[in-house]
Chains A and B, each alone.
Chain A
Amino acid sequence: DQQVKQNSPSLSVQEGRISILNCDYTNSMFDYFLWYKKYPAEGPTFLISISSIKDKNEDGRFTVFLNKSAKHLSLHIVPSQPGDSAVYFCAASVKTSGSRLTFGEGTQLTVNP
């Protein structure tokens, strides 16, 4: 299932700098996108989402950008903090109430002090 893809398995940034995590999708039916953060031995934690009618959504240090024509979304974290070090998953769904999430492979973010 390659409908949602995160091509970078890992990313390392310095504390205080911007982290940019990328995600691509192929299914044009997807119209709702989410980012989750996961620490080892824990479940995914919801971070931020965006509907396909928007191209940007911001929540504090986290901003998600959606480029529908390119079927691409990105998560920007600024400034990055060491506590942000985790695996970040991109997920997508179709806009029905009970619909499943389709996940990407995840990107391990390491923020160095």
Chain B
Amino acid sequence: EAAVTQSPRNKVAVTGGKVTLSCNQTNNHNNMYWYRQDTGHGLRLIHYSYGAGSTEKGDIPDGYKASRPSQENFSLILELATPSQTSVYFCASGERTSYAEQFFGPGTRLTVL
């Protein structure tokens, strides 16, 4: 079965600090995605990637960077964390076809104080 893992699962950060959220997938999928989930907004796409070395901006990229150093790993980086970035973050992977299912990781709960 598809396996997407995220670390850490919970993180408390201070305003202005740097936060890195990591995602690993063992599905050998080309595409990977970062979403945040907030009540009333559903899932919103932050960044995505078509493969190692590629990153693309999603719907809400401001304040976030992404890095895809390998097929398996996709990181989300908050250089200067703000309280508005308190949220639950999901990573997902999927094959590079229009009809492909996305497989989600367990999520990371980030609190920025």
User: Is B one of A's binding partners?
Assistant: no
